Amino acid sequence: MDALNLLGNSKDLIRGFAALLAAIEQANVITGGGQGAQAAPAVNPFANIQDTFSRYDEQELPNGNKLRRYDTGNVRILNPRSGIVQEERPNGNFLVSLPTGRIIFQEQPGYPLLVFSSIHGGAPLMARVCVVQLGAASEARPAFQFEDHEGNHFVDLDSLRYVKVAPAHVQSTQVEQPVAQLQHA
C-alpha cells in the first residue's frame, strides 16, 4: 500500500494543499509581506482548508468545552477558554496539553503521570491526581497537580480549568487523601 492510499484520497490531499498555499499567499499580501498590500478580502482565505488527515465528529459540552471523536479512535476534549487539550488514545495513552508548553503524559493506565516541557526540555516531572478546592466558595474537585520552580500547577479534571499558584498559597489538609486549598492572595 503506498503512502497516498494511507492518507486518503490523493486528489483531496492535493486540493487541500493548494488551498493552504493560496491562503498563505493571501495572508502574506494582507499583512504587507507581498508586493501590493491591500485591504482584507471579503472572503475568508482559510475557508477551503480542510483537515483531511483526521476526520472527527464534534459536539459542544454543557460547560462550553468541545468534545471530538476522531475516526482513529482518539477522543479529545478542549477548553477554548483555558487552551487546555486532553486526549485519550485507543492504545491507552493519555495526555493533557497546557497552554504553557507543558504536557502531562501517561503511557498506559496505571503508569506514572509525567510532565514534559516542550519549550525548556529537561527531565520530566511527576504529576499526581489530587482533590483541590479552587477558591473558598467552590467545592473540592479532582485535579492533576505538579510542582516546579514557578509554583504549583492544577488542572481541574472535569472543566479543564488551569490554575498556577505560588507555593506559599497552598496548604495540604489531609495526608491520606491529598487536598490542596488555595488561600486568598
pLDDT score for 171:
55
pTM recorded for the entire structure: 0.61
> What is the predicted pLDDT for the residue at 164?
87
Question: Using one digit for the tens of pLDDT, what is the confidence trace for 149-160?
Answer: 888 899 999 899
Average pLDDT, the chain: 76
Residue 80 has pLDDT above 50, yes or no: yes
Q: CA 15, 17, 22, 23 torsion: positive or negative?
A: positive
- State the pLDDT confidence band at 118, using cuts at 50, 70 and 90: confident
- Residue 145 and residue 115: Cα distance in Å, rounded? 10
In this structure, are residues 144 and 104 in contact, taking their beta carbons and an 8 Å threshold? yes
Q: Check if the beta carbon of residue 171 is closer than 8 Å to that of residue 183.
A: yes
Q: Is the CB of residue 96 less than 8 Å from the CB of residue 86?
A: yes
pLDDT band at 139 (very low <50, low <70, confident <90, very high): confident
E strand map for the chain? 56-60, 66-70, 75-79, 84-88, 94-97, 102-106, 113-117, 125-133, 141-148, 151-156, 162-165, 170-172, 179-182
Q: What is the pLDDT of residue 5?
A: 44
Residue 33 corresponds to which cell in the numbers above? Answer: 509581506
* Amino acid at site 82: S
Q: What is the predicted pLDDT for the residue at 150?
A: 84
Among the ranges given (18-22, 59-63, 92-96, 145-149), the one the predictor scored with the smallest mean pLDDT: 18-22
Mean predicted confidence (pLDDT) in 83-109: 92
Phi and psi (nearest 5°) for 19?
-65, -40
Q: Rounded distance, CA 169 to CA 184, Å? A: 8
Per-residue pLDDT at 39 exceeds 60: no
DSSP designation for 169 = G
